[in-house]
Structure formats: structure tokens, C-alpha cells
Amino acid sequence: MLFNSSEFILLFLPVALIGYYSIGYLRGPIAGVTWLVLMSSVFYSYWNVAFVPILAVSLLANYALGRAISHKPNRWLLALGVGANILLLGWFKYANFLVDNIDWAFSTGIDLPAIALPLAISFYTFQQIAYLVDTYDGEEAETNFLRYSCFVLFFPHLIAGPVVLYKDVRRQLTSPETYRFNSTHMVFGLTIFAVGLFKKTCLADPIGPIADALFRDAAAGIVPSFGEAWFGTLAYTVQLYFDFSGYSDMAVGLGLMFNIRLPINFWSPYKSGSIIEFWSRWHMTLTRFLTTYVYNPILMSLTRRRMRQGKPLLRRSSFALVPFIMLLVVPTSLTMLISGIWHGAGWQFVIWGLLHGLMLIINHAWRAFRHAYGIGPAVGRVFRPLGVLLTFTCVALALVFFRAGSVAQALIVFQGLTDVTAPIYLPRSTWLERPDMLLVLIGLAIVWLLPNALEWIGGFESDGAEASVTAKSAQGVWFSVWRPSRWQWRPNFRNGIVMGALICFALIRVFGVVPSQFLYFTF
């Protein structure tokens, strides 16, 4: 069931909301949680009921392990839990990839039947790994299986994130106020959901065919022209942005409708002035997970080892930066390699992850150089527009590997991207025949010139009292997204017209075409 489908909007969501507030108000938090678990199970089962037993076993096993670790912290028990989760994910997601590559390298003749990938396994596996690690580190474990199931299964974030930590929702799931109707949260939730729906249906989906045509031709061995390659690459870059940020907005909006604040997963990443800043704004909860549970442990291990050997992290010499940079290379490369592999089983994802690792290492080295030689932030502010353009270009080029079905397909696209002898501009007739191409430019204008949805729908003032929605960023800092401005969204006639138009355009698309799957559903 898709968020952008008529059955979800007209049937599932109203039933889920009415039942939630009716049962939760009359019977209390446990009844409300039970209803959410039931509806989330129906939502997941709608995709493929055959995957439900796998999810159920994962829930039961991780809940039991969490209780055991909480009762008596044990490193081997934690290793068992984390290892079992990784093995489960590895079998379904990477077994075919590994067998195919082993057979290619050694001609083993092994023929492993295609293994279907259970929906959302990448997301709920990471969430439960984080839960086990946090429990081992002293976080309070959940003693109620229904609440634990709701934390994992809550349908707004189940399929494509955000990657939620239990501490993000623990107090909310236990508070009686969560199960009582809140008109302010409902208004904000509906509005944010509507903006996300508009992004998906009216921007991402119409742009998609441009990118699809480029990579379909590349898969057939057709080298695109310079203009086609660049415009198709830009199209996919914009499509992915509005598709994923649209889903993230809808997830946050749906969470607010149920009085549950989910962590923000997107914060205008294409406005980033560096690749470090980009990863603090793009898929923010995945960045949080990788930083907390992969990067930091590796970096701390290397740092402790170097200090035990009596070697300083920095030396006062012409090579003072070398140890610092080397300490970044290993954890950064491994972290981004894991990020690439997590996104998909293919060498193209490995290359995508390593490219981002390389860009992060260069960015960290530049920051270390600036700090060591006293180059102040004023220089960065002056060149920020150039930094934004450079970062966007690097991200777009790396996304060629992210979108391609294979490395060979990506290299064919890069042949077109580097063919400077071909015409740079697309013919004028092409623009007239393909007005959807204008959406790419409109999308870039929206991305770079307008505030994001949560900046715009930050809050409103009513009767002199500010009612601001707060959200938790991926770095764990609470902040208000209220931005006083004459253009700030408020529940007034003007914004009612704007929102009505957005909803109408989105619903026309919902009811007029077959709903398309979100791009991150395949991960």
C-alpha cells in the first residue's frame, strides 16, 4: 500500500486514525498501541503476506535479546544479536550477489535461485541493531512487547525510514496525551503530508521518465549525447530529491497525525556547501546511525590504539596533518562502504559509497588544513555559492552509479557526460515537445530558492500565543522550525488557497494515474 494511493488516503488512513483516537481515548495507551500495531501489520501485509513471518521472528528475537541484555549486559550476547541481524539481512539481500561473483571468479557452477528481498528489511534491521547496542550501553529496554512492536512497525516509517531509535519515541508511546486527539498536530500533520504528496506526485513522478529513458538506453548499450546525459543525470538527481524528501515529509506528517514526532530525515541537502554538510542534511537518520554505530567506534578504536603506542594524533612538523588524515581514511571509507552496500547489492553501490567516502576524506582534510593554517570561516562564506554548486555536481555525478543497474551501464552514461565534442544545448524543439523537462529546472529552482517544507510549515501564532511544532534532528538536538516571516505558513485564507491547490493537483495525480513506488522502497 502506497502513501500516494487512493486506498491509503481514502480508506486505510481514516480507519487507522478513527480507531486510534477512539480506542486510545476510551481504553488507554496499551489499547492505542495495540491498534497501531494491528494497523501497521495490515499495512505491511498488504505488500506481501509471505514476508510477515520473517518480520515477526525478527521482532520476537530482538525483543527477547534486548530483555536479556538489559537484565545482564553481555558483550557476547550483543555480538550474537547484531550478528544474527546482519546475517538475516545478508542472506536475503546479498546472497545472490555473493554467489554470482564467486561463480564468476572461480567458475564454481553454483546456481542459487533468486531470493526475494523482504520489504523494509534494511530499515527495521538497522533500527533493531541500534536498539540492542543502546540497551547494552545502558538505555532502558522496553518491557512491553506491544510497545516494542509499535516502535519497529509504526507504518509511517516502516518501509523507507526515517531510521528511528527507541529513545526517539519511548516517552511518546507511554504518554496518555499521545492517544488523545490534538487538532494542532492534526492540522500540521495533514499540511506536511499534503506537501510531501505534492512533491511525489507532481514533481518526482513526472520527472522520472527523463531519467528512465537515459538509463534504459544505457542498459541497451546506447551512448547518450552530451546534453542527454547531463539532463538525464540532473533529472534523476531532482527526481530522487523530491521522491525521498516527499516520502520523508509524508512520514513526519503522518506521525504528527498520530501525535508521534518522528525525527527529521531531510533538511535541504542540495543547499549544502560541502559534502560533510550534505550528509548532515541528506537521509539524516541513516547518517546518525552510521556515525553513532559504525564511524565513531572505528575512530575511537584507532585513536586508543595510537595513544597506547605513545604516538600523538598530531605532530608539529611539515607532516603534522598526516596522522590526522590517516585516522579519517579508514573509518570514513568503511562507513561509506557500508552505506553503499546497505543501499543495494551491486558493485555500482560499492563505487557510489567509496566515492562519497573519498569526497568526505578530501573535505575533512581541507577543513584540517584550514584549521592548521588559520584560514577563517570568512573565506568559506565568500565561496559558499561555488561550494554549493561543486557539492551538487559531485553528488549528481555519483548518483549515476546509484541509479545505474550495473557498473557497465554507469560507464556508458559517463561516456556521454564527458563527450565535450557533442552539442551542449538541447534543440529548442525538444523543449517544446517535452515540457516535462521544464520541471527539472522548476525543481532546481524550488530546491535552491525556496525554504523546505518544514521551514515553511514551521508554526503559527494564534491569539498572541505561538504554537510551534518542534522536531528532533538526526543529531539529537531539539529545535523549533518556527521562522517568523510574512510568508510563513499560517492557517489563514491565503495559505488555505495554496494548500487547497497543492492537494487538488496531488489528488488529480493520485486518482488519474497508477501510483508509482517510492525509489527507496527497493532498498
Identify the weakest region by mean pLDDT among 22-36, 135-149, 293-307.
Answer: 293-307
For residue range 324-372, list pLDDT tens digits in order.
666 788 899 999 999 999 999 999 999 999 999 999 999 988 887 777 7
Dist. CA 375–CA 229, nearest whole Å: 38
Residue 311 lies in a domain: no
If asked whether residues 168 and 210 sit together in one domain, one would say no
Q: Which of 122, 155, 181 corresponds to the end of one domain?
A: 181
Q: Which of 146, 164, 181 is the last residue of a domain?
A: 181
Go through 104-113 and write b for each residue having 16 or more CB atoms within 10 A of its CB, e for each that does not.
eeeeeeeeee
d(CA 253, CA 264): 11
Both 193 and 171 in one domain: the answer is: no
- pLDDT tens digit string along 375-406? 766 666 778 889 999 999 999 999 999 999 99
Rounded to whole angstroms, how far apart are CA atoms 256 and 17? Answer: 11
Quick one: pLDDT at residue 318?
Answer: 42
| Pair 16, 91 in one domain | yes
Out of 10-14, 88-92, 518-522, pick the least confident.
518-522
Last residue of a domain, one of 146, 165, 181: 181
Residue 130 belongs to some domain of the structure: yes
Same domain, 128 and 251: no
Buried-state track 402-427, b at ≥16 Cβ within 10 A, e below 16: bbbeeeebbebbbebbeeeeeeeebe
Is 317 within a domain? no
Q: How far is CA 433 from the centre of its chain?
A: 34
117/50 Cα distance (integer angstroms): 11
Catalytic residues: 343
167 CB burial (10 A radius; 0-12, 13-18, 19+): middle
Domain count, the chain: 2
Span 445-461, pLDDT tens digits: 999 988 888 888 765 33
Same domain, 475 and 495: yes
Any idea what the Cα angle at residue 455 is, between residues 449 and 458, rounded to 5°? 150
Evaluate whether residue 31 is within a structural domain: yes
Whether residues 13 and 123 share a domain: the answer is yes
In a domain, 370, yes or no: no
Residue type, 469: V
Residue 134 lies in a domain: yes
- The answer to whether 92 and 164 are in contact (CB under 8 A) is no
Same structural domain, 141 and 223: no
Query: Which of the four pLDDT bands, split at 50, 70 and 90, describes residue 129?
Result: very high
Question: Which of 148, 197, 141 lies closest to 40, judged by CA?
Answer: 148
Query: Rounded distance, CA 361 to CA 376, Å?
Result: 20
Whether 339 is covered by a domain: the verdict is no
* 43 half-sphere exposure, CB direction, 13 A CA radius: 25
pLDDT of residue 486: 58
Residues 63 and 19 in one domain: yes
Distance in angstroms (rounded) separating the CA atoms of residues 457 and 502: 14
> How many angstroms separate the Cα of 86 from the Cα of each of 195, 322, 396?
36, 34, 30
Same domain, 144 and 203: no
State the Cα–Cα distance between residues 503 and 507, nearest whole angstrom: 6
Q: Residue 288: CA atoms inside 13 Å, Cβ hemisphere, count?
A: 23
Q: Has residue 455 been placed in a domain?
A: yes
Report the DSSP beta bridge partners of residue 467: 460
Statement to judge: residues 197 and 245 lie in one domain: yes
Cα separation, 249 vs 242, whole angstroms:
10
Q: Which conformational region is residue 374 in: left (phi greater than 0), alpha (psi within -120 to 50 degrees), or beta?
A: left
pLDDT category at 104 given cuts 50, 70, 90 is confident
Q: Are residues 155 and 201 in the same domain?
A: no
Which residues have a Cβ under 8 Å from the Cβ of 81 and sit 6 or more positions away? 61, 62, 65, 66, 69, 129, 132
C-alpha dihedral over 280, 296, 162, 258, to 10 degrees?
-110
pLDDT > 50? residue 30 = yes
> Do residue 236 and residue 138 come from a single domain?
no
| Residue range of the domain that includes 144 | 6-181
Given a cut of 70, whether residue 312 has pLDDT beyond it is no
